[in-house]
C-alpha cells in the first residue's frame, strides 16, 4: 500500500478512549503495565486469550504494516479492553528520518488502526526507544503522547520462556511499565506463568492509560522516560 494514497483517504473516526479499565484506582492498588510491541503477530491472538483468562489488561503498540496483515487481531485487542498505541508503519528509527517521513509513519498507522478497530490511538511508542524533541513535536502534531517504559525484558534476544519470565518478575515494581514483544513466541509461551505469579505478588495488571490515573495520555507529553 502506498503511504500517501492511504493518507489521502480521510476516515471520520474518534480517538481511542483512555482505557476500558477505569474502575481500577492505581493510587490504591499495586498496578503494573505490561506492554507489547511490534504486533499484531502470529501469536497475538493466543496472548489475548491468555490475558482474558487471567483477567489482565495490557497495552499493545501496533506496527502499521502488521495491522494491514491482521486487522481482526487489532480489533480483538481493543474489544477485550486493552489499550492500543501507534508503533509506526514500518518500525522505523524516527530521529534519522525527515519530518514528512516521520509524519507519514505515524499518520498512516493512525489510519490503519482506525480502519481496523474504529478508533485511533492517543499514544505512540518510538521504535527502539529512539526519540528526540523534534520527533515528540511531530507526534504532538498527530495528537499523540509518547510512551516509553521503566524496564525492558530484552525478550527478543532471550527467546526463552523461563528467562523471559525471570526478567519480567525482576523488573516488576508498582507503577512500572515493562516492555515485551508479542511477536516473540517465547514471550507468548511465558505469559500464563508470568501472569499467575504477578497476581500472587499482589499486582493488578492494567493498561498504561489506567496507570496514568486520568492524567493522560496527553498529546506531546513523553511518559516513563
* Closest to 205 in 3D by CA, of 59, 79, 87: 59
The answer to whether the CB of 149 falls within 8 A of the CB of 47 is: no
CB-based contact 175:154 (threshold 8 Å): no
Helix (H/G/I), strand (E/B), else coil: 170: helix
Q: Is 181 a catalytic residue?
A: yes
Catalytic residue chosen out of the listed positions 37, 38, 155, 182: 37
Count of CA atoms in the C-beta half-sphere (13 A) of 138: 20
- How far apart are alpha carbons 175 and 18 in whole angstroms? 17
Q: Of 38, 87, 155, 181, which residue is the catalytic one? A: 181
Residues 118/84, Cβ–Cβ less than 8 Å: no
Residues in the chain: 225
Catalytic residues: 37, 181
Amino acid at each position: 500500500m502506498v503511504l500517501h494514497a492511504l493518507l489521502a483517504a480521510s476516515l471520520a473516526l474518534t480517538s481511542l478512549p483512555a482505557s476500558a479499565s477505569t474502575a481500577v484506582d492505581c493510587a490504591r492498588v499495586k498496578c503494573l503495565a505490561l506492554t507489547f510491541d511490534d504486533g499484531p503477530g502470529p501469536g497475538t491472538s493466543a496472548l489475548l486469550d491468555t490475558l482474558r483468562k487471567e483477567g489482565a489488561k495490557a497495552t499493545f503498540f501496533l506496527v502499521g504494516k502488521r495491522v494491514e496483515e491482521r486487522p481482526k487481531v487489532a480489533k480483538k485487542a481493543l474489544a477485550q479492553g486493552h489499550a492500543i498505541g501507534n508503533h509506526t508503519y514500518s518500525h522505523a528509527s524516527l530521529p534519522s528520518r525527515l519530518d514528512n517521513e516521520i509524519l507519514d509513519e505515524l499518520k498512516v498507522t493512525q489510519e490503519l488502526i482506525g480502519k481496523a478497530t474504529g478508533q485511533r490511538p492517543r499514544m505512540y511508542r518510538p521504535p527502539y526507544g529512539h526519540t528526540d524533541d523534534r520527533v515528540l513535536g511531530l507526534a504532538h502534531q498527530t495528537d499523540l503522547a509518547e510512551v516509553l517504559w521503566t524496564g525492558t525484558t530484552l525478550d527478543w534476544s532471550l527467546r526463552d520462556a523461563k528467562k523471559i519470565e525471570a526478567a519480567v518478575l525482576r523488573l516488576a515494581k508498582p507503577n512500572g511499565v515493562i516492555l515485551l514483544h508479542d511477536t516473540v513466541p517465547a514471550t507468548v509461551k511465558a505469559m500464563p506463568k508470568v501472569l499467575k505469579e504477578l497476581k500472587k505478588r499482589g499486582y493488578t495488571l492494567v493498561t498504561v492509560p489506567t496507570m496514568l490515573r486520568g492524567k493522560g495520555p496527553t498529546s506531546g507529553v513523553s511518559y516513563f522516560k
